[in-house]
Amino acid sequence: MTESMRIGTRKSTMALAQTEEIARRLAVVAPELAVEIVKFEPVGDRDQTSNLLKHGGKGGAFVGEIRAAVLKGTLHAAMHSLKDMPGNEDTPGLVIGATLVRDPPTDALVLREGVSLDDLKRTHGNGFKIGTNAVRRAAYIRRLFPEIEVIHFRGAADTRVRKLDNGEMQRLPDGDEVGPADALIMARSGLERVGLASRIARDFTPQEMLPAVGQGIVAVECAAHDWASRRHLSLIDDPAAHLSCDAEREVLWVLNGHCNSPIAGYSVISGHEMSLTASVLDEADGRFIEVTRIGPADRPRELGRAVGLELLDKGAGALIEANRPAE
């Protein structure tokens, strides 16, 4: 008897590539399973002008509608980029059934034609505009190029590169426009997924730009009581990625990090040990609070909790509250 699994996903090129990878892996380990990919266009993709806070942050903007379909039972599972999943709240009734092998977690620099990395280095960024919608990336790039102008820039990975190449202005929530951008900061994994890795002018090391929590990890969410789906998804789960997922997201939980939180976190497993580095930063005045700890790889949440609590001891809570959106 043929079983089925309906997997919901955003309809962007990158999201579809990630979901197709899930389907390919399931076909190998569970050939009896008929996988159907169901495309969604959540509000965060429909509205590329407004601040994400208007739609409830990344959670409401990108994953809320798909999660609701899983809870309703019209989907068996949902594909998410782990970094888009809110870390300061649980969704009752849902679990992460699988995490795929982690893609490169680092950020990368993409330049428009006519701009070189040497230009940015020589001028410290003076006279150039760089596009990102992430507080974390904005803060780190100002460390590397202190005189650069950071501008609001949203859209799917391939859409952002097209806007950069065409010299398009970016509309702001208040109706004004900024741009055009001279460069973008993007996730290397996203550029690879949409076939644009050749556009990378520079890879930032984790020391230069600590990745977002969960960056590079594809997560598959399903209903907690759906044991058939959980069994199938467990067959494609990568244990190392899941351990990193648990450690890094525990930091978000401890810090009560909201969607506008300037938080970064990245873990590395070596043998039986995990090293976890997390930071909280203030884009306005350039303050950084960073903590690194090493612990047993098989106790990821404990390590994440220790890192989060040490960050709070060092004053991270005040930086997070300073960036918390008004109710």
What are the pLDDT digits (tens) for 198-235?
999 999 999 999 999 999 999 999 999 999 999 999 99
CB neighbours (10 Å) of residue 38? 18
pLDDT per residue over 42-82, tens digit each? Answer: 655 544 544 444 434 444 446 888 999 999 999 999 999 99
β-partners of residue 277 are 266, 292
pLDDT for residue 325: 62
Angle of the 13-29 helix axis to the 157-166 helix axis, nearest 10: 150
What pLDDT, on the 0 to 100 scale, is given for residue 62?
Answer: 61
3-state secondary structure of 73: coil
> Rounded mean pLDDT of 152-158?
90
The amino acid that residue 79 corresponds to is: M
Give the mean model confidence (pLDDT) for residues 238-258: 93
pLDDT in tens, 270-314: 999 999 999 998 877 778 999 999 999 999 999 999 999 999 999
Whether residue 322 is predicted with pLDDT greater than 70 in this model: the reply is yes
pLDDT recorded at residue 175 = 82
**pLDDT interval class at 259 (50, 70, 90):** low
pLDDT at residue number 56: 44
Cα separations (Å) of 295 from 142, 172, 270, 274, 306? 32, 44, 11, 5, 10
H/E stretch holding 40 reads strand 33-40
> What's residue 261's pLDDT?
76
Assess contact for 41 and 111: CB atoms under 8 A. Answer: no
Percentage, residues of the chain above pLDDT 70: 90
The CA distance from 103 to 190, in Å, is 9
What pLDDT, on the 0 to 100 scale, is given for residue 59?
Answer: 46
> 3-state DSSP call for residue 213?
coil
Average pLDDT over residues 168-193: 92
What distances in angstroms separate CA 215 from CA 35, 46, 117, 126, 173, one per listed residue?
Answer: 25, 23, 24, 29, 26
% of the chain with per-residue pLDDT over 90? 75
- Find the mean pLDDT for residues 22-39: 97
Residue 41 has what pLDDT?
A: 79
Task: Give residue 149's pLDDT.
Answer: 96
Residue scoring higher pLDDT (237 or 86): 237
Taking the alpha carbons at both ends of the chain, their separation in whole angstroms is: 51
pLDDT tier for residue 126 given thresholds of 50, 70 and 90: very high
In sequence order, which residues have a C-beta less than 8 Å from that of residue 327 and are 6 or more positions away?
Answer: none
15: which residues sit within 8 A by CB, 6+ positions away? 9, 79, 81
What is the residue-averaged pLDDT of the chain? 90
pLDDT at 133 over 80: yes
